[in-house]
Amino acid sequence: MEKREKFSSRIGFIFITAGCAIGLGNVWRFPFIVGKYGGGAFVLLYLLFLVILGIPVMTMELAVGRAGRGSSVESFRRLEAKGQKWHWFGYPFIWGNYILMMFYTTVTGWMMAYVFKMLFSADSKALFEDTANTFTHMLSSPGAMFFWMVLATFIGFLVVRLGLKNGVEKITKRMMAGLFVIMLILAVRILTLPGALEGVYFYLKPDFSKMMAYGWQEVVFAALGQAFFTLSIGMSAIAIFGSYIDKSHRLGGEALSITLLDTLVALLAGLIVVPAAFVFKVPLDAGPSLVFITLPKIFAKMPLGFLWGALFFLFMSFAALSTVIAVFENIVAFWMDTYHWKRDKAVYVNMLLLIVLSVPCILGFNRWSAFQPLGEGTNILDLEDLLISNTVLPLGSLVYIFFATAKKGWGWKGFLKEANTGEGIKFPEGIRVYLRYVMPVIILYIFLQGYIGVFKK
Ligand code: PFF
């Protein structure tokens, strides 16, 4: 077997995998979902899902990657018994990675566009006051969105082309360090504004009545989707990084560290956005446009607002790009492992492919806006997001759960041995029955309820 590339350090592995997890889900989606579903109550539910569902599935993915030493399809193929077809699941996982990037690169492009706008736009009235117009104007300009999407895709593949150690590891590590520094500066700036503590109070105080107003099923569905999405579990994006590490550390502990870093960034992003909205009395339930329409108004009221704005969107761009790079690495590794393509070829072909595949999401906001796949006001991005967050990720997680716990798969013994090889926190042996029988029921139940909810609306 060909020698597989390895990370140069354990910290590199943890930062890159956390970089895959930390993304738009943390900095863009989390604050507005929390705002919508009642602050602390939702946060509690989300944390619960991370612990009871997220960490076990992440450990399983890492184990499949590390023991199978391959990308999506190959690692299953090496671990399954002769004649079994588990590796077939590897293909839809990779399609999932493509679908995710079909909208993720566009939103990453928005973030980068806003860094540029903050720094160079001469029209500060448009940027800081007519924020809704500025955002709508961007959404109605397919050319501009295309430019930024291509730039995001290009940067992502450029880093992946440099290789695992010299590109992905080196650059993502720096970007994550930058992200933490910027985030801390922003948090201190916002939290020291008069009145910010009221926002912190709302953010952390559970308000179950607001949650109930939406119906508990909807809220639980949202929390579950968010938990899977934020950790990047269920479609082999995490497994690939397991395939690049040695056996020196137990995987439960690694999954815990990655989840903690991811949660820290989500909670801090909320601590920046929610109190800021409170101080400047802007509605929190603005949804996805919150950071583009609402936040610039806040920066406008701060001295050196354009600089804070630029830093904020740079923070968003780093988070998004670290995920784009990680997912591109998974896609490229798939072609290298399964079809023995050279890294360069896989990079160039997929760069072109993804640029083309990202076009529908862009057109969904303008030329194709009449197509509203999930009901009035929805667009192609919503459809792609539903396919990933609420479909591929929960169902894909079920695949990992069954594979790691069922006799007809890799099996509990194989999984446990891999997960517990090395030093560190041990994955508990006694929870097999929970993982095998209870967890799938929870996931399936919430998954079905959620779908019924979406189509009943
Ligand atoms: N975890 C990423 C985020 O929070 O933005 C999104 C994501 C990446 C989901 C990779 C799934 C995945 F496989």
Query: pLDDT category, 202, cuts 50, 70, 90?
Result: confident
> Does the beta carbon of 17 sit less than 6 angstroms from any atom of ligand 1?
no
Site to substitute for ligand 1 among 179, 230, 238, most atoms within 8 A of C-beta:
230
Cα–Cα distances in angstroms (integers) from residue 360 to residues 28, 145, 246, 365, 387, in the given order = 21, 12, 40, 9, 15
Q: Is the CB of 38 under 6 A from ligand 1?
A: no
Residue 237 beta carbon below 6 angstroms from any ligand 1 atom = yes
Report the separation in Å between the CA atom of 323 and the middle of ligand 1, taken as the mean of its atom positions: 7
Token code pair at residue 280: 């400047």
Given ligand 1 and candidates 229, 235, 318, 330, which is best to mutate, with the most ligand atoms within 8 Å of its CB? 229
pLDDT at 393 over 70: yes
> Does 416 score more than 60 pLDDT?
yes
Question: Which of 231, 323, 331, 400 should be mutated for ligand 1, with most atoms under 8 A from CB?
Answer: 323
pLDDT of residue 2: 59
DSSP structure string for 34-89: HHHTTBHHHHHHHHHHIIIIIHHHHHHHHHHHHHHTSSHHHHHHHHSPTT--GGGG
Quick one: which atom of ligand 1 is closest to the CA of 26?
Answer: 4
Q: Identify the CA nearest to 258 among candidates 13, 428, 5.
A: 13
Q: Assess whether the C-beta atom of 390 lies below 6 angstroms from ligand 1.
A: no
**Are 35 and 277 spatial neighbours (Cβ–Cβ below 8 Å)?**
yes
- DSSP secondary structure letters along 262-295: HHHHHHHHHHHHHHHHHHTT--GGGGGGIIIIIH
d(CA 222, CA 447): 10
Residue 318 alpha carbon to ligand 1 centre in Å: 14
Q: Is the CB of 392 under 6 A from ligand 1?
A: no
Ligand 1 pocket, residue 26 CB under 6 Å? yes
For the segment 175-190, the average pLDDT, to the nearest whole number, is 93
Q: What is the pLDDT of residues 260-294, one digit of tens each?
A: 999 999 999 999 988 988 888 877 776 777 889 88
Tokens describing residue 313: 């969107």
CA distance 308 to 246: 41
- Please tell me the least confidently modeled range out of 13-27, 37-51, 81-95, 150-164: 37-51
> Distance between CA 125 and CA 123 in Å, rounded?
5
The atom of ligand 1 lying closest to the CA of 22 is 4
Rounded Cα gap, residues 233 and 138, in angstroms:
32
User: 225: Cβ below 6 Å to ligand 1?
Assistant: no
Residue 20 is inside which H or E element, if any?
helix 10-21
Q: Which amino acid is at 388?
A: I
Q: Which atom of ligand 1 is nearest to the CA of 23?
A: 5
- The 10s digit of each residue's pLDDT in 13-42 is 999 999 999 999 999 899 888 888 878 889
Average pLDDT score over residue span 2-13: 89
pLDDT band with cut points at 50, 70 and 90 for residue 108: very high
Q: Which atom of ligand 1 is nearest to the CA of 97?
A: 13
